[in-house]
Amino acid sequence: MDFLERVYHIEGIEYRGREERSLFVSAGTGLMLAVMDLCPRLRWCVDVDGLDGAQWTRFADWLICAAKRTEVIAFAGWYCATDPKPVADALRRIGRRDPCYAQCRGTFGNPFADLSTAHDLATFIDQVNGWGETPP
């Protein structure tokens, strides 16, 4: 992940002491921090709401590269006014069925409909904490 940060200038925040090769992508810092507290198997996290324009244009490539170095990429969000489609498209390109919880309402529709593995946050957290044991 350090190498990806240097190449793409997108930081995956590491929770030190966690050994799993896992990434949590969130739309919203509060949600990101809460899920990281409840899911000790997640090692790195990134809040897409904190990306600037240049980082946003590189995000899909960064995420696809991160997928090659991680066992799971969990995603939760969309409670913001930015377009969720680029994140959904990047997750789709990874080609895995990782835990995904998205509540998209409003202008942009829900591009996560085929990616969602949970319809509520509690189920999503259970999926993240149990990944590898049962399919989502």
Task: Give SS3 for 21.
Answer: coil
40 DSSP 8-state letter: T
115 DSSP 8-state letter: T
- Please answer whether residues 123 and 33 qualify as being in contact, where contact means their C-beta atoms are separated by less than 8 angstroms: no
Q: What is the pTM of this model?
A: 0.90
How does residue 35 score in pLDDT terms, banded at 50, 70 and 90?
very high
Average pLDDT, the chain: 89
Percent of all residues in the chain with a pLDDT value above 90, rounded to a whole number: 68
- Please answer whether residues 27 and 106 qualify as being in contact, where contact means their C-beta atoms are separated by less than 8 angstroms: no
Q: What digits encode the pLDDT tens for the residues 5-34?
A: 999 999 999 999 999 999 999 988 999 999
Answer yes or no: is pLDDT of 78 > 90: no
Q: What are phi and psi of 108, to 5 degrees?
A: -90, -5
Q: What digits encode the pLDDT tens for the residues 112-136?
A: 889 999 999 999 999 999 987 755 4
The arithmetic mean of pLDDT across residues 95-118, rounded, is: 85
Residue scoring higher pLDDT (135 or 110):
110
Answer yes or no: is pLDDT of 49 > 90: no
The CA distance from 128 to 20, in Å, is 12
Please give the pLDDT value at position 136: 47
